[in-house]
């Protein structure tokens, strides 16, 4: 068993000292701006295509979120698992295992990025056909995703690096790098699409290039660290005892991401059956929802690191206070956003699509879904708390049961009985509510604070 030493002036901030509220907010705020800039990648593509290309091109890109997340979600989930382990050892002051976990997670990310490139390139054309992509949109989708998955390794490796840096309490530097690359992305979008008229190919190329720049900047920072958190490319190796801890934490989140994406692809298939305007309207709604929901997503992403570091330091009551604050703050802000979005949806949709038919579909979906944002926020924040204490299986099983199985069953049966667009929209608040009830019961009735004792898991 390695000796846990006193931490010697690490270059990343700790979340185990000071005001709980201040710690969480100061850590989550840069993550919010970072997520905002990541959304700008997609929003820039959508805005430029919506204004300088055909409606079919916009439909191809705006409706492809579930397809891309199906492939990369598995590996992003494993990155989250690596971050939980790094955070826990960092909170405990275990320098040796922090270094081992960083190098193991990064090398695993390299292997995962290569695999995702191969799988995505081979699988995407078949999935586009299975989801009943309209014939008018299919050529645009094929072009976009072939280029995107040809360079998807940049997306995977950036997410791995970002997860490592955030697990050490550093949410600022990923933000700085995203600020620079977001400006570059917008410039390339305008050049490739508006000036050179490359359409969806230009949008995909801009995304891959700028994500690659973000990854290289993160890598440069990680290799220049001066303490035990430094990434040394010459020392990359898989430590089996560390990987044996990362996989049980990350695989549930990764499998959850992938399988939920499959469920959402079934839903998307039903949306596609209503035609290209339904695809465009729903796609525009998804872009806006992803933007307005960023404060809650940032809170849910900050909670695993905060909980894990404090449990590693055996500050159980502090971890509990952080969990309560994070969940309550997330739910409150989400419902406020939902009420505002309920009335602001139609003009917001016009930012992306200026076709009345498409705006109508997007507004229908918003009126059904927005009032129930508080349920989505609770599920995400509760899942973040449970992942932070090593209980990744619980949110995975819950979301698979409701966000995949129940959602697919509902859409399949309900659309046959009531073949209107609103029927599809109700699948979301229904499954959010069911998952919220289960996670609430688990948090109230289980001893999740003492679910993990770091001493039992050290080699």
CA nearest neighbour of 31 among 171, 238, 206, 218: 171
pLDDT of res. 377:
93
pLDDT of res. 326:
93
Three-state SS string over 269-298 comes to HHHHCCCHHHHHHHHHHHHHHHHHCHHHHH
Q: Which residues contact 240 (CB under 8 A, 6 or more apart)?
A: none
- Give the N- to C-terminal CA distance of the chain in Å, as an integer: 6
pLDDT of res. 124:
78
pLDDT of res. 43:
67
Q: Are 247 and 112 in contact (CB under 8 A)?
A: no
Stretches in the chain below the pLDDT threshold 50: 1-11, 454-459
> d(Cα 200, Cα 205) in Å, to the nearest integer?
9
Biggest alpha carbon–alpha carbon distance for the chain: 66
pLDDT of res. 281:
85
> d(Cα 347, Cα 440) in Å, to the nearest integer?
36
CA nearest neighbour of 268 among 373, 132, 74, 71: 132
Q: From residue 427, give the alpha-carbon distance in Å to each of 49, 109, 275, 365, 368.
A: 29, 34, 19, 11, 10
Q: From residue 440, give the alpha-carbon distance in Å to each of 250, 278, 378, 433.
A: 22, 34, 9, 11
pLDDT of res. 141:
83
- Domain edges within the chain: 20-450
pLDDT of res. 14:
65
pLDDT of res. 3:
36
pLDDT of res. 4:
38
pLDDT of res. 455:
45
pTM for the structure as a whole: 0.70
């Amino acid at each position: 068993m390695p000796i846990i030493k006193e931490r010697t002036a690490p270059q990343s901030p700790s979340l185990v000292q000071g005001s709980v509220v201040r710690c969480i907010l100061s850590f989550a705020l840069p993550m919010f701006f970072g997520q905002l800039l990541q959304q700008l990648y997609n929003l820039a593509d959508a805005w430029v295509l919506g204004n300088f290309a055909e409606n079919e091109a916009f439909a191809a890109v705006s409706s492809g979120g579930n397809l891309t997340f199906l492939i990369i979600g598995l590996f992003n989930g494993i990155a989250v698992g690596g971050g939980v382990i790094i955070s826990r050892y960092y909170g405990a002051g275990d320098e040796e295992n922090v270094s081992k976990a960083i190098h193991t997670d990064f090398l695993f990310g390299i292997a995962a990025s290569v695999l995702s490139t191969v799988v995505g390139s081979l699988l995407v054309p078949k999935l586009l056909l299975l989801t009943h992509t309209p014939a008018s949109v299919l050529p645009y989708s094929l072009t976009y995703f072939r280029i995107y998955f040809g360079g998807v390794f940049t997306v995977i490796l950036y997410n791995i690096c970002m997860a490592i840096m955030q697990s050490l309490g550093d949410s600022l530097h990923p933000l700085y790098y995203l600020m620079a690359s977001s400006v570059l992305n917008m410039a390339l979008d305008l050049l490739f699409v508006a000036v050179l008229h490359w359409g969806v190919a230009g949008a995909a190329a801009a995304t891959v290039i700028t994500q690659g720049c973000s990854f290289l900047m993160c890598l440069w920072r990680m290799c220049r660290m001066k303490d035990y958190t430094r990434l040394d490319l010459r020392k990359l190796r898989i430590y089996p005892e560390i990987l044996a801890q990362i996989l049980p934490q990350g695989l549930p989140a990764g499998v959850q991401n992938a399988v939920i994406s499959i469920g959402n692809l079934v839903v998307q298939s039903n949306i596609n059956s209503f035609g290209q305007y339904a695809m465009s309207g729903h796609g525009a709604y998804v872009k806006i929802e992803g933007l307005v929901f960023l404060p809650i997503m940032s809170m849910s992403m900050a909670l695993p690191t905060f909980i894990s570091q404090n449990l590693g330091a055996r500050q159980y009551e502090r971890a509990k206070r952080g969990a309560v604050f994070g969940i309550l703050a997330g739910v409150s802000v989400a419902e406020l956003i939902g009420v505002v979005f309920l009335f602001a949806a139609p003009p917001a949709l016009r930012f992306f699509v200026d076709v009345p038919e498409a705006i109508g579909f997007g507004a229908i979906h918003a009126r059904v879904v927005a009032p129930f944002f508080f349920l989505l926020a609770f599920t995400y924040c509760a899942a973040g708390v449970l992942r932070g204490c090593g209980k990744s299986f619980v949110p995975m099983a819950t979301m698979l049961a409701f966000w995949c199985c129940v959602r697919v069953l509902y859409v399949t049966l309900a659309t046959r009985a009531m073949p209107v667009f609103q029927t599809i929209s109700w699948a979301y608040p229904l499954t959010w509510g069911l998952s919220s009830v289960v996670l609430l019961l688990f948090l109230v009735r289980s001893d999740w604070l003492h679910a993990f004792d770091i001493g039992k898991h050290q080699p």
